[in-house]
Amino acid sequence: MKGMENAHRKTAGEITGQTTLTLAERFRRTRALSEALAAPLSDADATIQSMEDASPAKWHLAHTTWFFETFLLRDHLDGHALFDERYPFLFNSYYEAEGARIGRFSRGMLSRPSLDEIITFRHAVDEAMEALITREDCAGLIALGIAHEQQHQELLQTDIKHALFQNPLGPAMYAEPAPAFQDVDEGWTEYPGGIAQIGHDGGGFAFDNEGPRHRVLLEPFALSRSLVTNGQWAEFIADGGYRDPALWLSDGWAWVQRDGIDAPLYWHEDEHFTHAGWQKRDAHAPVTHISYFEADAFASWAGHRLPTEFEWEALATTEDPSSGDQLDEAGPVLPRATGALFGSVWQWTRSGYLPYPRYRPAEGAVGEYNGKFMSGQFVLKGASCATVRGHSRASYRNFFYPHQRWQFTGLRLAKDI
């Protein structure tokens, strides 16, 4: 497996942000990148599951393959026989319409099939997909499958990081850390208020939860040009931020007290855990691995607030979503840039993840992709250092529960003017 890393690095590095690529090229390069991301892992590495929110690396590789075999090959290729009739039970995630499946908390018990067997499964499905990737009637589902796999590429990176963090030896997935750089852009960008058009404009691919496009009324506000940094977060800690209940939402304060939270995930003294093991923490880099509760408390401490998803999107429509610190190839990832609106960390907003006016989920099993989760979660905007470049856009709606923080999550402050 380790020998596969260099073989895939070049193709993975030319990935899907290039709009000149055909759908077939995007499919092949997306599939290659997933294997490149898993290349440094042993079979044991790829099997472990550190918590129910996370999944084993080889499960991500298999689930994304199950998606293509189920919704493309099974349903659209005459005569296709499943690679293994037992795999749908193992690798279906949450699609109730697709029948029974293994419990999410039990994915780490799948010592078999092995990582090599999963790779064989992937290659067989990729070969069969060649018969469909130029068919116009399959183009929409293939684009959805590519975007779905890109989401799991980010999850693979964050999930294996959380798994390796559980090891007291602090093992490194990569020998060298991500290089550091600074691009601090201080100050605020003001927005005069008014009626803004929100949601995907219909050009190119988007998930169903990004529409329908609709109008919202915004009051005048300003958004910080820079993400909150590790150094600023250290000041929050030193000033007793985790000990002052006045800063916290009620549920957040209960979470802090119950789980003994006193710093972002992966922090210890002046170090933090990365894909390259324990490393010295850069005070100028964006803070990450924080929950919504922490982001909201910090904003209160700073005398500001979190933006709404509509405020963030109104300013982002003039920005290049493929700019900033995002994933170009397999390798260590770490938030480094603070100035770009996109990249480095997903940014918490104060907006609940709810349907837009006139929203209707898609027909069939794929309609379970987004709509069924519109309860109790908050929207994040932008992209992270682990997001495949070209995957995100201004209308993109990421979403997590307010206590979750194993993803590359951070914040950008907002204020009323």
Segment 139-154, tens digit of pLDDT: 999 999 999 999 999 9
Identify whether 183 is part of a domain. no
Q: Is 5's pLDDT higher than 70?
A: no
Q: What is the pLDDT of residue 149?
A: 98
Q: Is residue 177 part of a domain?
A: no
Q: For 170-218, write each residue's pLDDT tens digit.
A: 999 999 988 887 777 789 999 999 999 999 998 889 999 999 999 999 9
244 shares a domain with 120 = no
Q: Are residues 195 and 91 in the same domain?
A: no
Q: Give the side-chain half-sphere CA count within 13 A for 274.
A: 24
Q: What confidence score (pLDDT) does residue 396 get?
A: 97
Does 15 map to a domain? Answer: yes
Domain match, 157 and 260 both:
no
Please indicate, yes or no, whether residues 148 and 192 belong to a single structural domain of this protein: no
CA dihedral sign, ordered 228, 233, 234, 239: positive
pTM for the full model? 0.92
Q: Give the sign of the dihedral formed by CA 395, CA 12, CA 22, CA 116.
A: negative
**Together in a domain, 161 and 192:** no
Residues 160, 212: one domain?
Answer: no
Residue 237 has pLDDT above 90, yes or no: yes
Which residue is listed with tokens 């919704």? 71
Q: Residues 270, 137: one domain? A: no
pLDDT grade for 164, boundaries at 50, 70 and 90: very high
Which CATH number belongs to the domain containing residue 389 in this structure? 3.90.1580.10
Give a yes or no: residue 213 inside a domain: yes
**Continuous H helices in 39-188:** 43-47, 57-68, 75-76, 87-91, 115-129, 139-165
Note whether residue 181 is domain-resident: no
If one counts the domains in the chain, the total is 2
Which pLDDT band holds residue 19 (cuts at 50, 70, 90)?
low
Give yes or no for residue 14 having a pLDDT over 50. no
Q: Region 70-93: what's the mean pLDDT? A: 96
Predicted confidence (pLDDT) at residue 232 exceeds the cutoff of 70: yes
pLDDT of residue 186: 84
Q: Is residue 254 domain-shared with residue 393, that is, in the same domain?
A: yes
Report if residue 229 sits inside a domain. Answer: yes
Burial of 176 from C-beta contacts in 10 A (0-12 / 13-18 / 19+) = exposed
Residues 134 and 42 both lie in one domain: yes
What mean pLDDT comes out for the span 275-304? 97
Q: Which pLDDT score is estimated for 97?
A: 86
Cβ distance 219 to 367 under 8 Å?
no
Q: Name the domain boundary from 165, 180, 212.
A: 165
Structural domain range at position 32? 4-165
Across 274-287, average pLDDT: 96
Task: Name the DSSP class of 276.
Answer: T
List the alpha helices (DSSP H) in 200-308.
230-238, 250-259, 292-301
Chain-wide mean pLDDT for the chain?
Answer: 93
Residue 251 falls within a domain, yes or no? yes
Rounded Cα gap, residues 124 and 145, in angstroms: 16
Residue 60 has pLDDT above 50, yes or no: yes
Give the residue with greater pLDDT, 287 vs 365.
287
Mean pLDDT of 53-66: 98
Do residues 66 and 119 both lie within one domain? yes
Mean pLDDT value across residues 55-77: 97
Confidence at residue 2, expressed as pLDDT on a 0 to 100 scale: 28
For residues 157 and 199, state if they share a domain.
Answer: no
Asked whether the predicted pLDDT for residue 66 surpasses 90, the reply is yes
Q: What is the pLDDT of residue 298?
A: 98
Distance, in Å, from the CA atom of 73 to the CA atom of 130, rounded to the nearest integer, reads 10
Q: Across residues 383-412, what is the average pLDDT? A: 98
CA angle centred on 273, ends 230 and 382, rounded to 5°: 55
Q: How far apart (Å, rounded) are the C-alpha atoms in residues 394 and 203?
A: 12
Residues 243 and 104 placed together within one structural domain of the fold: no
Q: Is residue 265 situated within a structural domain?
A: yes
How does residue 7 score in pLDDT terms, banded at 50, 70 and 90? very low
Which has the higher per-residue pLDDT, 340 or 7? 340
